[in-house]
Each structure stands twice: as structure tokens, then as C-alpha cells.
Amino acid sequence: MERWVHLCVDMQRMFAEQTPWHVPWMAKVSPEIVELVARYPERTVFTRFIPPVSADVMPGMWKAYYEKWEMMTRAKLPTELIDLVSDLRRYVPPARVFDKRTYSPWIGGHLHRKLAAEHIDTLVITGGETDVCVLAAVIGAIDLGYCVIVLKDAVCSGADSTHDASLALLGHRFSVQVEITTTEEFLSGI
């Protein structure tokens, strides 16, 4: 397996620190993610979820979403909280950062075009949240034809029940296109 990239989803300070979007067990999966990134920083692409400056610049229901979460818009949120957590930020470069405005990193096609130009056919996915942005990244990757490997000990969510349900859905319903494994099993198989 030579044509793989580690897609690390939204391991940002705004989810790791005490904000309304805090994911308490992000810290629990961070060591697994750091281990993978430290071994293969040149194969890592970090996504960052970038909130708008204000709700009124967003289309459709995103406007209502950011009216609810106004404190998480860039007008209210300290800019440094958009950054990657410090344990991961130090690997950029050679790791790359891809900013996105939606849950899915595939909207707009920029990331897919970049990976296709590099002949990437497999994505190893980590990060948060399992039942939101990770799920959107996996489903989009399936639609685009990638082989997807989700590291179950390196993804996290704010809700255990939907985290578990998402992993069950991906592992069972999409078993031909998605492999669910651990970081250790993945690293030992490279």
C-alpha cells in the first residue's frame, strides 16, 4: 500500500478546549493520531473546519446554524482556536492543511483534485467528530472511489452513542469500501 494519505479531520483547538463545541475525549485519541503523524508527516493532510465571520454570509440552513452558534463565528471566536492542536501543528510542514467551510472536505473538489493528481487511492482517516465531519469525509471518499481505512481508536465524538453507531454503520454497511481497524494494526501492516 504505497498510494495512501492520512486524512486527519478537524483536530483543532476549538474542539479540544473549553468552547461550546468541546469534544471531551479528543485528548484520549490524540496520542494515536500523533503517533501516525510523527511517523508519516509527509503523508498527512489536516482538515480544518473554518467558521464564517458571521452567519449572514452563509447560504441556506448554514445561516440558521451559525445564528444558533454565533459565539463560534470568527467575529466572536478567538482566531487562535481555529488552529490545529499544538501536538499536531508542529508537523506542518511537511504535513499539509486543507481548510473547509462545511463538514465534508470534498465540497468544491479541490482536495480530491489534489489527491488524484498525486495518484492517491487510499485514505487513512482519523480525527473528529466521528458522527459529523469524519462521517462526511468517509462517505464522500467512498463516493469518489477511495479505499477508506478508519482508525477506530483515533476518531472521537462528543456523543458515545452516535460515535458507536457511525462506526457500526461504516463497518457493516460499507464493508467493501471501508476497513475499520486500530492505529497499531494499521502501522504494523505498512
What's the pLDDT at 40? 98
Residue 8 lies in a domain: yes
Identify any residues that bridge with 181 across adjacent strands, giving them in sequence order: 151
DSSP assignment of 103-155: S-TTTTSHHHHHHHHTT--EEEEEEE-TTTHHHHHHHHHHHTT-EEEEEEEEE
* Structural domain count, the chain: 1
Residue 27 lies in a domain: yes
Residue 58 lies in a domain: no
- pLDDT digits over 60-83, tens only? 999 999 999 999 999 999 999 999
What's the pLDDT at 49? 98
Which range of residues forms the domain containing residue 23? Answer: 4-51+83-188
- pLDDT digits over 120-161, tens only? 999 999 999 999 999 999 999 999 999 999 999 999 999 999
CA dist., res. 113 & res. 66, Å (int): 29
Residue 28 lies in a domain: yes
- If you ran DSSP here, which 8-state letter would residue 181 be given? E
**pTM of the full predicted structure?**
0.96
What CATH number should be reported for the domain holding residue 140? Answer: 3.40.50.850
Residue 65 lies in a domain: no
∠ CA 164-88-58 to the nearest 5 degrees? 70
- Joined together, the cell numbers standing for residue 161 give 452513542
Average pLDDT of the chain, as a whole number: 97
